[in-house]
Amino acid sequence: MAANKHIETEGKGVIILPVVIFESPEYISLSSASKVVITALQSAWYPSKVGFTSIGVHQICKKTNLSRKTITKAMSELMLNGWIVLKRESGFKTTRQWELTWLGYHKKRPSNIWKINRNGGEKLPL
């Protein structure tokens, strides 16, 4: 019998998705690629800064082993369904900044825009 192996996380952080989100119809209905991209986005999120994450498609490709096309499609799905909001467009030597709507920062509550689809709410435009 193989011994249990401990995964070293010290100094690297942990990505947590609350069960209430994980079991929500909004999360369940997302594509598998979008769920993977959520994890990659959250891995680059630092609440001690402005509460946004700056990560490019190329970096997400490296982290997830997904193609640019798949990531772009997943990001569109996440935007359409209110999981992420573009806060700053990319520019010379800068990447886009994204609000992760299920996460709060600086004592601010999360905007939880992804919940807007509940009870027949309208989806957000791209």
In a domain, 107, yes or no: yes
In a domain, 3, yes or no: no
Number of domains in the chain: 1
In a domain, 13, yes or no: no
Average pLDDT over residues 53-72: 92
Query: What percent of the chain is predicted at pLDDT more than 90?
Result: 38
pLDDT at 17: 87
CA atoms of 35 and 72, how far apart (whole Å):
13
In a domain, 102, yes or no: yes
Query: What Å distances lie between residue 15 and 68, 91, 109, CA to CA?
Result: 23, 28, 18
In a domain, 58, yes or no: yes
CA atoms of 44 and 81, how far apart (whole Å):
21
| pTM of this structure | 0.78
In a domain, 53, yes or no: yes
Query: Residue 57 sits in a domain of what CATH number?
Result: 1.10.10.10
In a domain, 78, yes or no: yes
CA atoms of 53 and 44, how far apart (whole Å):
6
pLDDT at 16: 83
In a domain, 99, yes or no: yes
User: Nearest-CA neighbor of 68 among 57, 78, 53, 52?
Assistant: 57
pLDDT at 60: 93
User: Which residues constitute the domain of residue 78?
Assistant: 32-119
Give residue 117's region: left, alpha or beta (phi > 0; psi -120 to 50).
Answer: alpha
Please count the residues of the chain.
126
Token code pair at residue 82: 């209110």
CA atoms of 8 and 21, how far apart (whole Å):
26
> Per-residue pLDDT for 119 more than 50?
no
